[in-house]
Amino acid sequence: KAGVTQTPRYLIKTRGQQVTLSCSPISGHRSVSWYQQTPGQGLQFLFEYFSETQRNKGNFPGRFSGRQFSNSRSEMNVSTLELGDSALYLCASSLQTGPVYNEQFFGPGTRLTVL
């Protein structure tokens, strides 16, 4: 079974631009979560999508948004990029068959550098 895939793996943008990152979950997984990893803040939860609906949201400004498609693939978008948005963006998918926690499987991440 293929794992979680993320594209692109590396991205360089300049301040003020916007960026879209893509995540394909493991087949059959309906929940997709996004995390940001930076040296200073560690791994922080951005948001979770389930059945095309945002179900949970972390403490990030509105410049960070996402969506999920009917095939469970997800995209996240960051508008008006700032230098501090440079980070590794990780996507994780899970089955989420009930209300309790389901193991999340992480992709390799997209390394975003903002110049």
Q: Which spans of this chain sit near another protein (rule: CB under 8 A)? A: 4, 31, 33, 35, 42-45, 48, 50, 55-56, 58, 90, 92, 94, 96, 99-109
CA 105 remoteness from chain centre: 12
Least separation, in Å, of the C-beta of 68 and another protein? 13
* CB nearer another protein, residue 15 or residue 105: 105
Token representation of residue 67: 């969506």
DSSP 66-95: EEE-TTS-EEEEE-S--GGG-EEEEEEEE-
Least separation, in Å, of the C-beta of 75 and another protein? 17
